[in-house]
Structure 1
């Protein structure tokens, strides 16, 4: 049976610098996803043109820069992550090559074999954030699972998380003892009585 060997990671985009190449619909979707998750994300968008929705999206984003020009390898300098989000497969391939040479992690839209990471489907309720991955096979399944989880996770989840943090801070002992006690306390969340 084939397995998903991706390692889930949550990036602090306010501490990293992301390059997005592409100013059309795909670029808009990627930038929108980044900003929905981190409104203070540091993003540079390079494209020969920008659709109006993208311009409108970033106009009040404090750390987003639009640069209207053709992509060049110098655009990778100082970047931590890159997203190739154009409708031009050859240009996306070129951006991927330059990212690899620069040791920058890259996502190439709709080309899983060229992705170092995927922008998964995200469920967020308060401080709880869940990323869903289908290993690049079916964004539609990820979207449907997102809808289900969004519906079943209670809106009061922040209260639960806040109370568990207080409990966690009060528990004495080493890491193993703290985990054991938190597991005992949270057993009620999964118990099938």
Structure 2
């Protein structure tokens, strides 16, 4: 049973640390910036891929630090994503995060994760996160591709119209909910 609690974070209000400058670090940094391009991210690694350097040049809120991990990098951070190819370093970072009560994701190691990065479908303001409880990121990716294909590109117009209707509704909370439920019933 999947007991994960789905949540959408306002990453642009947080300080994020990514440890790892290889392919996994690139994947995680790309995911963060695709969803919240103004996020303050510090990426630490002894070696950093050229693609990460290119991304950092396009995003002034990304700071690259060419260095080995040190617990001092956790200072003033809110969220940590780990993607090194050294399992002992990954475990040490996870333990350091636990000691500081920081949420951490260790790539491809569900037992060391406080949260998982989901596969995300985006259509304008609509964002759907897909989780397989860490069992198959590949399935989540394929399912995302299916949803992206079947969801119409006109969804943003629908959302904008519903927001206008919602803003004009009068009455108490229950009356507004009843009206919005009536309007959206056609989606069944």
Q: TM-score range by the shorter chain?
A: over 0.9
Cα distance in 2 between the residues matched to 1:177 and 1:116: 39
Cα distance in 2 between the residues matched to 1:106 and 1:176: 39
Aligned to 2:185: 187
What SS does the corresponding residue of 1:14 show, helix, strand or coil? helix
Aligned to 1:136: 134
> Structure 2 unaligned runs (5+)?
none
Cα distance in 1 between the residues matched to 2:173 and 2:70: 48
Q: Is 1:119 aligned with 2:117?
A: yes
Aligned to 2:58: 60
Aligned to 2:2: 4
Cα distance in 1 between the residues matched to 2:39 and 2:100: 21
Cα distance in 1 between the residues matched to 2:150 and 2:113: 31
What SS does the corresponding residue of 2:28 show, helix, strand or coil? helix
> Structure 1 unaligned runs (5+)?
none
- Deviation of residue 144 (structure 1)? 1.3
Q: How many residues align?
A: 188
**RMSD (Å) for aligned C-alpha atoms:** 0.8
TM-score by length of 2: 0.98
- Deviation of residue 127 (structure 1)? 0.8
- Deviation of residue 120 (structure 1)? 0.5
| 1:45 equivalent among 38, 43, 46 | 43
What SS does the corresponding residue of 1:44 show, helix, strand or coil? strand
